[in-house]
Amino acid sequence: MDKSTEIIDWFKSLQDTICGSLEALDGNQFREDLWERSGGGGGRTRILNGDIIEKGGVNFSAVHGNMPDNIASKLGLPENKFLATGVSIVLHPKSPHIPIIHMNVRYFQTDSGHWWFGGGIDLTPHYIVEDQARFFHQSLKAACDKHHPGYYSEFKTWADDYFFIRHRDETRGIGGIFFDRLNEERGSLDENFAFVKAVGNAFVPIYTHMVEKNLERPITEQDLLWQRLRRGRYVEFNLVWDKGTKFGLDTNGRTESILMSLPPQANWVYDFRPEDNPAATVTQSLLKKGIDWVV
Catalytic residues: 102
Binding residue for its own copies, selected from 267, 279, 286, 291, defined by CB under 8 A: 267
Question: Does residue 255 interact with its own copies by CB under 8 A?
Answer: yes
3-state DSSP assignment of residue 287: coil
Burial class for 186, CB neighbours closer than 10 Å (0-12, 13-18, 19+): middle
Q: Cβ closer to its own copies: 168 or 217?
A: 168
Choose the stretch contacting its own copies; rule: CB under 8 A; options: 10-18, 131-139, 146-154, 229-237: 229-237
Q: How far does Cα 214 stand from its chain's mean position?
A: 20
Binding residue for its own copies, selected from 142, 194, 219, 269, defined by CB under 8 A: 269
Number of chain positions touching its own copies (CB under 8 A): 31
Question: Does residue 215 interact with its own copies by CB under 8 A?
Answer: no
The 10 Å Cβ neighbour count of residue 118 is 17
Q: Cβ closer to its own copies: 52 or 258?
A: 258
Binding residue for its own copies, selected from 159, 260, 280, 287, defined by CB under 8 A: 260
With CA atoms as reference, report the closest residue to 161 among 148, 147, 176, 149.
176
Provide the minimum distance between the beta carbon of 39 and its own copies in the complex, in angstroms, as a whole number: 17
Provide the minimum distance between the beta carbon of 141 and its own copies in the complex, in angstroms, as a whole number: 33
Question: Does residue 249 interact with its own copies by CB under 8 A?
Answer: yes
Question: Does residue 273 interact with its own copies by CB under 8 A?
Answer: no
> What is the sign, positive or negative, of the torsion defined by CA atoms of 62, 66, 71, 73?
positive
Burial class for 236, CB neighbours closer than 10 Å (0-12, 13-18, 19+): middle
d(CA 125, CA 133): 9
Q: Cβ closer to its own copies: 84 or 259?
A: 259
d(CA 213, CA 205): 12
Contact 50, 28 (CB under 8 A): yes
Choose the stretch contacting its own copies; rule: CB under 8 A; options: 114-122, 124-132, 185-193, 265-273: 265-273
- Per DSSP, the residues of 163-184 read SEEGGGTEESSS-EEEEEEE-T
Rg (CA), the chain: 19
Contact 247, 193 (CB under 8 A): no
Binding mask 42-81 for its own copies (x = CB under 8 A): -----x-x-----x-x------------------------
Binding residue for its own copies, selected from 78, 256, 288, 290, defined by CB under 8 A: 256
By CB under 8 A, name the binding residues for its own copies.
33, 47, 49, 55, 57, 166-168, 228, 232, 235-236, 239-240, 246, 249, 255-256, 258-260, 262-271
